């Protein structure tokens, strides 16, 4: 999941800054016969993504990503949006009944009663609700358990087919990438630099692309770029506000209510949720049982179908594109982010 988040950050950067409004109107394209290099762009994005995947296993950027996600979640705008959603879900009679059924089953479980009794004996006079909540949170943070969740979530993403929904998004990204490579002012500088790197002779499109990849998108440069943007408050704020705006859209709100209700009413998923909670309360949770419950909850046919429907709504609604554009413009206006992008793209 971390890898997908990181790739998404690069997409956000390209969308926000890729269409450089500061380029001179008279600049020529990379196909101009005046001397700019041509690049073999097919597969370049895949090569960059592979390098990025390897980067996360060596650079420790996962901690920076975790801090970024925590920062986004902590933003008041998103917290307020999430609270409104949970309040709406809690006020739904059908969903409340299903959740109450799960909670009653947990409370009546001899195993849960034993765990609660042990907890109360170890912490006399303390709020048992808070103790239980803290215990669940602490257990969830165990590396093996958080990894199980990320693996299951990654599997869910792999099961959601959005190829048919990505036409507009893909065209938008492609247009911005093309804009980067057709900016004559920029490619003139690249031509000079890549020719120097090639020993003073003009390289072929394949050679030019490889030299560009090796020098512009080196692991050290990507690490520097990602470290900078992950700690940027504007990116955190606008990401949180975009998600809050997304939750407030009527079609998204309606689908989330429907999906949560449908999932909560499924007996097998209720059983998986109960088993997961029991293990999270246990001092010695069985990792295999936790991982199995996580996977069942996140990759069940019901969950996959719900994620598919939600993806369709988000990608098909023109209001989502409008919202994204608004927040991307604010991201692009941040001077620190602009400088980081310019350094990544041009200063190599």
- The full DSSP string for 249-276 is SHHHHHHHHHHHHHHHT-HHHHHHHHHH
Token readout for 282 is: 């246990």
pLDDT of 232: 93
The DSSP-derived string for 98-120 is: HHHHHHHHHHT-HHHHHHHHHHH
pLDDT of 24: 38
pLDDT of 272: 93
Judge whether 231 and 65 are in contact, CB under 8 Å.
no
Sites in the chain below the pLDDT cut of 50: 1-4, 19-34
pLDDT of 288: 95
User: Side-chain half-sphere of 272: how many Cα atoms within 13 Å?
Assistant: 19
Judge whether 260 and 94 are in contact, CB under 8 Å.
no
Ramachandran angles phi, psi of 145, nearest 5°? -80, -45
- 3 state SS of 130: helix
pLDDT of 196: 93
Burial of 14 (0-12, 13-18, 19+ CB in 10 A): buried
pLDDT of 220: 87
pLDDT of 171: 60
pLDDT of 26: 36
pLDDT of 298: 95
pLDDT of 32: 41
Query: How far is Cα 59 from Cα 45, in angstroms, rounded to an integer?
Result: 21
* CA distances to 32, 35, 105 from 280, in Å: 62, 64, 16
pLDDT of 4: 46
pTM here? 0.75
Q: Where are the beta strands (DSSP E) in the chain?
A: none
């Amino acid at each position: 999941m971390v890898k997908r988040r990181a790739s998404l950050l690069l997409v956000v950067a390209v969308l926000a800054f890729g269409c450089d409004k500061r380029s001179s109107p008279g600049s020529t394209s990379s196909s101009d016969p005046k001397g700019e290099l041509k690049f073999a762009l097919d597969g370049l994005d895949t090569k960059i993504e592979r390098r990025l995947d390897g980067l996360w296993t060596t650079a420790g950027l996962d901690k920076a990503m975790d801090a970024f996600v925590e920062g986004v979640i902590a933003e008041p705008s998103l917290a307020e949006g999430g609270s409104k959603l949970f309040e709406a879900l809690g006020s739904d009679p059908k969903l409340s009944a299903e959740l109450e059924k799960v909670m009653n089953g947990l409370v009546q479980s001899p195993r849960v009663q034993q765990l609660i009794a042990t907890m109360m004996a170890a912490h006399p006079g303390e709020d048992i609700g808070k103790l239980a909540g803290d215990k669940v949170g602490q257990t969830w943070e165990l590396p093996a358990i958080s990894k199980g969740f990320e693996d299951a979530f990654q599997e869910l993403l792999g099961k959601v087919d959005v190829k048919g929904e990505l036409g507009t998004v893909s065209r938008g990204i492609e247009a911005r990438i093309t804009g980067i490579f057709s900016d004559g002012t920029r490619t003139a500088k690249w031509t000079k630099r890549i020719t120097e790197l090639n020993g003073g002779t003009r390289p072929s499109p394949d050679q030019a692309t490889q030299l560009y990849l090796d020098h512009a998108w080196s692991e050290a440069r990507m690490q520097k770029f990602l470290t900078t943007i992950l700690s940027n408050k504007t990116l955190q704020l606008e990401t949180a506000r975009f998600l809050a705006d997304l939750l407030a859209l009527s079609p998204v709100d309606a689908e989330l209510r429907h999906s949560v209700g449908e999932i909560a009413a499924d007996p097998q998923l209720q059983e998986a949720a109960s088993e997961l909670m029991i293990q999270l309360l246990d001092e010695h949770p069985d990792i295999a049982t936790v991982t199995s419950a996580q996977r069942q909850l996140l990759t069940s046919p019901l969950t996959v179908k719900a994620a598919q429907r939600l993806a369709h709504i988000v990608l098909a609604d023109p209001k989502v594109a409008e919202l994204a554009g608004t927040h991307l413009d604010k991201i692009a206006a941040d001077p620190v982010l602009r400088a980081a992008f310019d350094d990544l793209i041009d200063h190599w």
